[in-house]
Every structure is written in C-alpha cells, then in structure tokens.
Amino acid sequence: MPYPESMRASIKKLEETRESRLNQKIPILSIDEKNQLLKEFHPDYRPGVHRELKAGVNKGDMAVVELANLLEARSTVDPNSVDLSKIELEVDTLVVGAGGAGLTAAIFSCDEGASVALATKLRLGDSNTTMAEGGINAAISPGDSPSIHYLDTMGGGNFTNIPELVRALSTDSPLAIKWLEDLGVPFDRDPDSDLPLPLLAGGHSRPRVCSVGDYTGMSIIQVLRAEVENRPIRVMEFSAVVELILDDKGQCAGAVLFDLLTRIPQVVKAKSVIIATGGIGRLHIQGFPTTNHYGATADGLIVGYRAGAKLGYLDSIQFHPTGTAYPDQLLGLLVTEVSRSRGAQLVDVNGERYINELQTRDCVASANVRQVIGRKKGITTPSGMQGVWLDTPLIDIIHGEGTVQKSYTHLYHRFKRYDIDFSKEPILIYPAQHYQNGGIITDDIGRSNVPNLYAAGEAAGGVHGRNRLGGNSLSDLFVFGRRAGIDAARRAPEIESGRLSLNHVFEYANALETAGSLTEASSPILLPDYRFEKVFPKFNQ
Amino acid sequence: MEALQKTDLIPVYFYGKRYDVPKMLTVLQAFEFVGYQFIRGCGCRGGVCGACAAVYIHPESHHLEVALACQMKVLAGMRIIQVPYFPVDKPGYNIDALNPTTEQVGQIYPQIYRCVACNTCTKMCPQDINVMGCISMILRGDIEGAAAASRDCVMCGLCTSRCPAEIPQFLIFLLARRLDGRFIQKPFRFLPTRLERIAAGDYEAELNALMTMDIEVLKVRYQKQQQDKQII
C-alpha cells in the first residue's frame, strides 16, 4: 500500500525542504516551556480522562477512567468457586508474568535457592519486552556515570520519580548489561570504541543505549527464556492470575491462577509473590492505538489492588511520539526512538520542523498533537487518521546508504510488505499509547506495602515518575526483577504462611458496593476483545 | 474502515471452514472479525514473537506458503491454519561451559549432522531467513555468520515442523547467536571498570548530593546537562 496521491503532495514538500532542514538547530525547551506544552497538548491533561477511586488504598486518588473501571469491577472468577484447601502447587517464589522482569526474577530467585513457579497468561516470554526495539540503558561509557544517568532520569520524569528507585536503576543497570552480555545477548558495539553506539536518545545527555539492532527486546527474551528452561523452574503457561491470596496475618501467600485453556482455577501457595504482569495498552486508554502486546491488560494492578497494594501515578500514561499512523494495518506500530537519534526529523504537512526531536517523549508527543490538532498541520490518510511525517530518509543521507536497512531490519521488512521503503520515503506517525508510568508502589528492592508481595517492571510504578526515558524500561526490568527475585528467595526460610484466605476480595467488593462504585465490568479482563466490528481500528486522536 | 462494503468481502478458509471477510484485514484480524478470541496463536501482534505462525495454500498455487498471521493480509480463497506450537526437545546447557564451535553445537543438537540439504526449512521461514544456509554455516564452523544471518528469527518453529531430519533449527540458531555474543564478539570495553567503580562506591557521594539537593538547584543542573548533551 504505497502512499496514495492525496498524501504525495505533502511528501513532495518534505523533500523540497529536506536540505535546508539538515543543519537546522531547534533549541531544547526550558522546563517551564515544556510544562506549558504538556498542559495544552499532552493527552493526560484532557478533561474527563481521569476519575476518582472510591474505595481501597488509593481512595480519593485519580486514575485513568479505563483502569479505574476495572479496579472497581467484580472478580472475573467468583471467589466463592475457589477451593483454597485444594492446593495445586506450593513454592517459595511465585512469579506472575513472563516478560523481562518476570523471567529475570524467576532466574535469580531460583539461583538463590528458592523453589520457583513462573505463571504467565500467554506463552513464556510473550510480553512488551519482546517488542522493545531501541535498547537498554546503562552508563557504561567513560564519559557517562550513574549520577548523570540519575539526573537525566529524574528530569525526564519531571522530578516526580521516587529518588531511591532511580538511584537503584542507575547504579545497577551496568550490572544488568554484564549479566546479559555473559548470557550471550549479542549487543551492538561501536567498532571503533567497543562502547555502545554513539547515539543520543530523547532526554539522555550521553549515549547509553545498548541495542541489538531494532530487535533488542526480542533478543533478550529469547536468551532469558532459554535460561528459564535450563533451570528447575515450574513454568505455567496460559495461566492468568485472577486473584492474590492473603493469609490470616495479612501477608501475601499465593495466587489463584486461571487456566485459560481448561478454564479451571488453580491455587498456588507461595511464600512470596512477584507481580511482573506488565502494562495496560490493550485497555486502549482514550481510544488510542497501542504499541503493546496482546496481553497488556493490567491484571497485576487489579489483583494487587484488591489485596491492598498501594498504587501510584495512575493518572499518568506514556504516549510514544512515533506510533505508526499509516497504513491502517500497522496502526500503533512502534517506530523506535533511535531513528530520531540517527537524525530522522519530525515534519508537518508543509515540510516544516516544529520541535527538537531529542527531547523527552512526553514533550515530543505533545508537540505532535499540537501540530495536528492545535495547528491543523497534520497529514490525513484515506481512512481519516491524521499524523505528521518522520523523515527517515535522512538516516541514510547522514549515515550512508544502507544504514536504514542494516539498523532497522525488523521495521524495514514490516513497512516493505506494504510497499513503503522508509529509507526513501518518510513514515506517517502519531502518538500511540506505549507505557503505563504508574503501577504498584515498591521500595528499592521491589517490596510493596503488602508483606511478601513484590512488583517489578512495568507493573510497578515510581522509578520513571510521570514520564519514562526511552531505554529505561529494559533497565528497570532487570534491575528490579533481579532485586525482587533475590530478596524473595533469601527471605523464604523465615516466612511462615498462615491460613489462606480470599476475604480481602469480599471486603473490597463490599466497600465498593457501599461507595456505590461497583462497575458493570469484571476484571482482570485477561484478553482484549477484538471480535467482529471491534477489529477495526479507532482513530481517536 | 468504517464504511465496509459487501464487495470488499472475500472468501477464506480457516481450518477448512469458509468465512467471508474484509479484504483489507490481516489474517489475525480476519480470524477476530469472524468471532475468534485468541488464547493461542496471538502474541505481540507486531511480528516479533512467532506465536501466530501460519501455513496456507492459495488457489493459484499448489505450494504450501507460510506467514505470521499478524503480518499478512488475507488473500481470496486462501486455506489457512495456524501452527502455534510444535514439539521439540530442549536439552539444557550452561553457556559458561561452552565453546563457539561446530562440535559444541553438534554435541547439544546432534540432529544437525542429519541435514539432507533439502532446503524445505528455508521455504518455510516467514522471516525469509536462509535457514539451510545458516545450518551449513554452522556445519562449516562459521558460528558468527550463522548468528548474523539468523538475527531476524522469531523462533516460530515452522522450519522444524517440516524438517525430514527433525532438526530444531530455531533453537540451534539461538545457541549460535548466544555463542557469538558471548565468545566471539568483543565485550563492552569500559564495562568492567565501571562495575569496579560502582562496587568501590565511587559514585555514592555524587548520588547522595543529587538526592539531597534543593529541587530548584537540581532543575538548573538538569537543564544545563541537557543543553550540554555530548557524544563521548
């Protein structure tokens, strides 16, 4: 599906201005200018997109409506139907979710001597991590340091991050790279220096993105999946968490899993549970397309909240500036930030730039929205979606012919199938839901406020504040997955679980009913529903 | 896509059963359009996880073709099934104790020596990897070459499903990529030094200072750091 005639006129303008744009410098916005831009155009600031939670630990806090409705829903599996005396499996550590954080937590907990079960709703490794293109951050060049990484991350999050978590992230991520390197993850190296490629990602003041082409997440997941399979870890695929189990001392003591294939609930007793269930993109916040995988439905947040875990930043969503806007079949496909690091520019219908492309994602995404909605300078597709151009041919112009094909093999093939060669033509993009900044609040070893309940990765909140820097999510997974996994294993011998109970589920439902806030939905939803006409993408902008 | 015309519908056969679906949909979306809600056979929906691997034939050809269902648009008259899982043996290994050699790979996956060079695996790859070529490279001792040439592998397992020698090509390639990453490519040069300095507590004072700094001072410092971005 090459670009139709109606879009070609604008491509011609873009080509005409290309040379004059090559050396055009656009200054970085000051903090105040940026905050003004966010307020006016970031989707988080739209009226009516949040609502107040009426019960539970976060009573009174605002949350995105789609999540709030599920947090205040009935249980998907009737807790009365679960027989807690019939224990399917008993382990030291139960890890829920098998993306980057879950695999890491399971491996480290096992190596530390714990018996480990790893439950996942889909297959081992199915996750947003697999889809991560750009890379993983670590301050491993001489001109960089953990403190520079710390400050970039804090500023990227508008100083709303939890400082202790950012400190853990910036000091542990070099360790994560060493671990992955030793496991044989084939990272790209700059051949001249044997350092990460000399590229700056948005909001980073030093090059620190370790990549494997545009397949970084997939490469890492493939390796970690093999490492889990090399260990005596009980893997439970197609087993979704539908409830956490507490004991009579109020400690977390296991989970109710639901086998999606047999539709039978299973009780797993565990001394600790690590929630690593990832993101919420498939709730389609505000109707936006998402870059997330099929299973990203906030399950861990919902069961965690019913069990009394404190959540945070629930009104803060990351919209990636460059989700694909054309063709419809690729709607929401992530176009890696590294494309901008290599010089791809954002250009409107008239062929003009409007923002420094290497600012933080919240800022660049807002600028894209401003250009399309505020200034009406977007490009419209035949289906009515609007977007702006990412001038990707600049990459080959700057770095030499063949760079696009070599560095973005995944994306290149995806667009080629629709007859778009983005080394020669630009890509039409628009912000897409990418990441939930919020989640279960933990300390710097992943412990939540509920004893023996941990969270790691995207399901946890706080380390990124209200905006995550590109590449920091992969660092987050390994840093906190490792810390949580090890801590759970070390504490296992001293933990005595009491009598298992689902009373908290009934109590929370009663509290919702009293508050008049119990919704029609049931949750966790486990799988998104794209049946029948719901398969057609929506173009909420 | 809202204005769906009857004329836009084409017949497809899912597991042999005919459905009429809009022609602009991907195979995955078409399954959903007729009422499937996937448990197996759907993962990232973005062409990297290999969950939605599919085999089909087209009326104009008698050849078996392959695709990732999330990546391919439906074709009129196609007969298609998904192959979301294929059984393979997964021998364990400890990466630390291996060498990047043909013999090593052959020790873990002895099936590799049974390759009859039929090239069916290559024809079965939805990622257009030269699968048999990679197997040959490994047999010739070129682990690095096989690692590079198999980088697009999403480990869907379709190659293995039709291999007469029962070779788990996708697992062998993962091993090749790991051996290459671990033993052949040079490690990050400065990483050991950075780790030593972190362990020695060299950054503690700076981090403590940043963590206790007045927020306005911190903001000024951040702004300066952003303006002095440098590639060093």
**Amino acid, single-letter form, for residue A43:** P
**pLDDT tens digits along B116-150:** 999 999 999 999 999 999 999 999 999 999 999 99
Based on the fold, state whether residues A186 and A293 are members of the same structural domain: yes
**All domains of chain B, ordered by start, with CATH?**
6-82 (3.10.20.30), 95-184 (1.10.1060.10), 191-227 (no CATH)
Which of A363, A322, A316 lies closest to A44 in space, CA to CA? Answer: A316
DSSP calls for A460-495: EESTTTTSPPTTHHHHHHHHHHHHHHHHHHHHGGG-
CA angle, B10 then B11 then B13, to 5°:
145
B58-65: long-range contacts at Cβ-Cβ below 8 A with a sequence spacing of 24 or more?
Answer: B64/B124
Which of A438, A459, A452, A445 lies closest to A98 in space, CA to CA? Answer: A459
Which of these three, A408, A433, A458, is where a domain ends?
A433
Q: Among residues of chain B, what percentage have pLDDT more than 70? A: 97
Which of these three, A388, A413, A433, is where a domain ends?
A433
3-state secondary structure of A197: coil
Kindly state whether residue A61 falls inside one of the protein's structural domains.
no
Q: What is the mean pLDDT of residues A237-266?
A: 98
Q: Which of residues 7-66 of A touch B (CB under 8 A)?
A: 28, 30-31
**C-alpha torsion angle, residues A113, A119, A123, A124 (rounded to 10):** -20
Tokens 């074709």 correspond to: B75
ipTM: 0.97
A538 confidence band (pLDDT: 50, 70, 90):
confident
Q: Which residues of B touch A203 (CB under 8 A)?
A: 226
Residues in chain A: 541
CA–CA separation, A423 and A339 (whole Å): 11
Based on the fold, state whether residues A175 and A304 are members of the same structural domain: yes
Based on the fold, state whether residues A183 and A304 are members of the same structural domain: yes
* A143 contacts B152? CB cut-off 8 A: no
**Six-digit token string for B83:** 């192959």
CA–CA separation, A414 and A408 (whole Å): 10
Q: Which domain holds residue A31?
A: 5-41+318-433
List the single residue in A185, A205, A222 with the smallest CB-CB distance to B228: A205
pLDDT for residue B2: 46
DSSP calls for A73-126: SEESS-GGG--TTSEEEEEEEEEE--SHHHHHHHHHHHHTT--EEEE-SSSTT-
Min Cα–Cα distance to chain B from A273, Å? 24
- For residue A410, indicate whether it is catalytic: no
Kindly state whether residue A384 falls inside one of the protein's structural domains.
yes
Kindly state whether residue A532 falls inside one of the protein's structural domains.
no
Q: Residue A141 maps to which CATH number?
A: 3.50.50.60
Residues in chain B: 232
Kindly state whether residue A76 falls inside one of the protein's structural domains.
no
User: Going by C-beta distance under 8 Å and a sequence separation of 6 or more, which residues neighbour residue B187?
Assistant: A181, A194
List the single residue in A143, A163, A183 with the smallest CB-CB distance to B95: A183
pLDDT for residue A373: 97
pLDDT score of A480 more than 80 = yes
**Six-digit token string for B223:** 């702004």
pLDDT for residue B232: 63
**pLDDT tens digits along A5-58:** 999 999 999 999 999 999 999 999 999 999 999 999 999 999 999 999 999 999
Based on the fold, state whether residues A251 and A347 are members of the same structural domain: no
Based on the fold, state whether residues A324 and A308 are members of the same structural domain: no
- Active-site option among A204, A208, A320, A414: A320
pLDDT score of B3 more than 60 = no
Is residue B82 within 8 Å of B17, Cβ to Cβ?
no
Which of these three, A433, A451, A469, is where a domain ends?
A433
pLDDT score of A463 more than 70 = yes
Q: What is the mean pLDDT of residues A159-168?
A: 98
Based on the fold, state whether residues A241 and A369 are members of the same structural domain: no
Torsion sign, CA atoms A35, A38, A39, A44: negative
CA–CA separation, A463 and A470 (whole Å): 13
pLDDT score of B1 more than 50 = no
SS (H, E, C) A262-296: CCCEEEEEEEEEEECCCCCHHHCHHHCCECCCCCC
Q: Residue A404 maps to which CATH number?
A: 3.90.700.10
Mean pLDDT of chain A: 97
Is residue A132 within 8 Å of A476, Cβ to Cβ?
no
List the single residue in A194, A417, A537 with the smallest CB-CB distance to B71: A417
Q: Output DSSP code: residue B26.
A: B
- For residue A282, indicate whether it is catalytic: no
Total Cβ atoms within 10 A of residue A404: 23
Which of B225, B132, B209, B205 lies closest to B172 in space, CA to CA? Answer: B132
CA–CA separation, A372 and A25 (whole Å): 22
Q: Which residues of A touch B183 (CB under 8 A)?
A: 184
3-state secondary structure of B94: coil
Number of structural domains (chain A) is 2
Search chain A and give the residue with CA nearest B33.
A532
List the single residue in B38, B49, B219 with the smallest CB-CB distance to A130: B49
Based on the fold, state whether residues A329 and A477 are members of the same structural domain: no
Query: What is the CB-side half-sphere exposure of residue A493 using CA atoms within 13 A?
Result: 4
CA–CA separation, A399 and A339 (whole Å): 12
Kindly state whether residue A391 falls inside one of the protein's structural domains.
yes
User: Going by C-beta distance under 8 Å and a sequence separation of 6 or more, which residues neighbour residue A526?
Assistant: A76, A121, A240, A242, A258, A260, A297, A299
Residue in A126, A147, A187 to test binding to B, most B beta-carbons within 10 Å:
A147
CA angle, A113 then A177 then A233, to 5°:
30
Kindly state whether residue A56 falls inside one of the protein's structural domains.
no
User: Going by C-beta distance under 8 Å and a sequence separation of 6 or more, which residues neighbour residue B204?
Assistant: none
Q: Pairing state of beta strands A62-64 and A50-52?
A: antiparallel
Based on the fold, state whether residues A347 and A201 are members of the same structural domain: no
- Active-site option among A340, A447, A466, A482: A340
**pLDDT tens digits along A78-121:** 999 999 999 999 999 999 999 999 999 999 999 999 999 999 99
Which of A63, A130, A42 lies closest to B155 in space, CA to CA? Answer: A130
Min Cα–Cα distance to chain A from B36, Å? 6
Kindly state whether residue A179 falls inside one of the protein's structural domains.
yes
pLDDT score of A539 more than 80 = no
Torsion sign, CA atoms A200, A204, A209, A215: negative
* A230 contacts B49? CB cut-off 8 A: no
Q: Which residues of A touch B94 (CB under 8 A)?
A: 230
pLDDT score of A122 more than 60 = yes
SS (H, E, C) B29-64: HHHHHCCCCCCCCCCCCCCCCCCCEEEEECCCCCCC
Q: Which residues of B touch A131 (CB under 8 A)?
A: 44, 46, 48-49
CB pairs under 8 A between A and B: 240
pLDDT score of B7 more than 80 = no
Chain B within 8 Å of A374 (Cβ-Cβ)? no
Q: Which residues of A touch B152 (CB under 8 A)?
A: 215, 409-410, 413
Q: Among residues of chain B, what percentage have pLDDT more than 90? A: 92
pLDDT for residue B229: 84
Based on the fold, state whether residues A390 and A474 are members of the same structural domain: no
Q: Among residues of chain A, what percentage have pLDDT more than 70? A: 100
Mean pLDDT of chain B: 95
Tokens 């992230």 correspond to: A169
Based on the fold, state whether residues A225 and A178 are members of the same structural domain: yes
Based on the fold, state whether residues A30 and A97 are members of the same structural domain: no
Based on the fold, state whether residues A468 and A418 are members of the same structural domain: no
Chain A within 8 Å of B231 (Cβ-Cβ)? yes
**pLDDT tens digits along A339-373:** 999 999 999 999 999 999 999 999 999 999 999 99
Is residue A436 within 8 Å of A317, Cβ to Cβ?
yes
Min Cα–Cα distance to chain B from A113, Å? 17
Search chain B and give the residue with CA nearest A177.
B191
Kindly state whether residue A78 falls inside one of the protein's structural domains.
no
